[in-house]
Amino acid sequence: MHFAIYCLDKPDSTQVRAQARASHLEYIDRHAAQIVMAGPMLSDDGKDMIGSLLIMEFPDKAAAERFTLEDPYRKAGLFQSVAIRPFRKVRPQG
């Protein structure tokens, strides 16, 4: 099942994100087979990263939650909030 994982950074956390970024990307790469899409959420002007959006495949919501708990960004205390919701891909087909 697909899950949308929406993470919003704490205010003024650019330095925390920068320090944990390499570890986060390594962690994400280890789960590449589960990724439908993933990337940073951006500020309105598109210049700053302010969160993360991932669409990933997991057997259930508990597995998705375990994944987020082990993310170096979450371990570093970067996120103000993390929301995990089941997601159904409709487009593009195939």
Predicted local confidence at residue 47, as pLDDT: 95
Predicted local confidence at residue 68, as pLDDT: 98
For the chain, which domains are there?
2-87 (3.30.70.1060)
Exposure string of 58-77, with b = 16+ CB inside 10 Å and e = fewer, is: beeeeebeebbeebbbbebe
Whether residue 94 has pLDDT greater than 80:
no
Predicted local confidence at residue 64, as pLDDT: 98
Percentage of residues of the chain with pLDDT beyond 70: 100
Predicted local confidence at residue 88, as pLDDT: 96
Tell me: the pLDDT tens digits for 20-45? 999 999 999 999 999 999 999 999 99
Percentage of residues of the chain with pLDDT beyond 90: 97
Predicted local confidence at residue 93, as pLDDT: 86
Predicted local confidence at residue 20, as pLDDT: 98
3-state class of 65 per DSSP? helix
Tokens of 23: 């570890």
